[in-house]
Amino acid sequence: MSDRVPTRFVKTLLGMVGEGGFDFSAMLSHAGLDFDPLDESLPGYRSEVSAMQYTRIYQQVLSLLQDETFGTSGSELVSPGAFRMMCYCIISCENLGQAIKRASEFYRTFFDERSQLYANFSDKYTRVGYRTENTTGNSLVAAADAYGLCMWHRFSGWLCGRSLELSRVDFSGGKPERVEKYEELFSCPLYFNQANDLLYFDSAFLSRPVVHTEHSLREFLRTAPYQLLIMENSTDGENLTAQIKAMIGFDFSGGFPSFETISSALNMSAPTLRRRLKREGTTFQQLKDSSRCEVAKLYLNRLDLSINEVAMQMGFTDPSAFHRSFKKWTGMTPGQFRNNCNARSVN
């Protein structure tokens, strides 16, 4: 996915804040937004924001409303923390199929039908989504409908470390005016005015192993939904790079998973994994450096963290070592990178 998010998604979040009578002007300032996402007629309005800006808004709304569903619920009935607890229930599953079944059971056990995750497995296709029907037959697909399905799609891909190629997506609503945006989001045939909102994908994907642990899950939850928003759309089934980077995760304060740990999780011998990575033109060390660089950029975008605090989050006990490493990775010092990001966010 690109590093850009439609402003209408921010508008949905701010609408939740507005309904509670809260002032969101400070949220916009903290996120680096210099325009009002609720008024398209004002000068300076932009149709897209960066994934980091959206994440900053999202996390502030989450903190204010104590709603941790990440937009993956089909309704407003899921209680605070439900998605978080569901994640901890499924993270120990062996494969994606088990994880989806357990997630579906979680919502079926604790919530009514409007909030339940529907999952149906067949020999050829798996269907995941919501069974709530469109009773009016007239309303167009809303951005929130697409966002909810998209987050489930990307979360499923995150669990197994690589994107899932979709076969089709059904929407109960009618065809929207800017259908190309939806086509870009899902990269598959879309069907409107269907009975339910559903994702379809090859059932062979259900056997893909869950590559994450509670450790990497904690970091995912802390920075969500950023990791889902920036996920690459590559569906190359032989691509180990994305899997390993997902397993390395976003939290380096406690060190890296070892090469042996990675190879064991992928059910490969160490020599086999080295050969596979060599065929993809990379090494484990290069993947570690690439992951550290990406995460360092993420932390430097958080203005609430000083550069020395970023260094500590990255596992560097000596801030000067972090400065040297970051300049080696990017050609810029951490301070220069932060200043450039702040300048871009207001342009």
Better pLDDT: 207 or 30: 207
Length of the chain (residues): 347
Return d(Cα 122, Cα 74) in angstroms, integer: 23
At 262, the pLDDT band (50, 70, 90 cuts) reads: confident
pLDDT digits (tens, 9 = 90+) for 133-160: 555 555 888 777 788 888 899 999 989 8
pLDDT of residue 133: 56
- Does this model's pTM top 0.75? My answer is no
Which amino acid makes up residue 242?
Answer: A
Mean pLDDT of 245-254: 74
Between helix 240-248 and helix 284-300 the angle, nearest 10°, is 50
Mean pLDDT score across all residues of the chain: 82
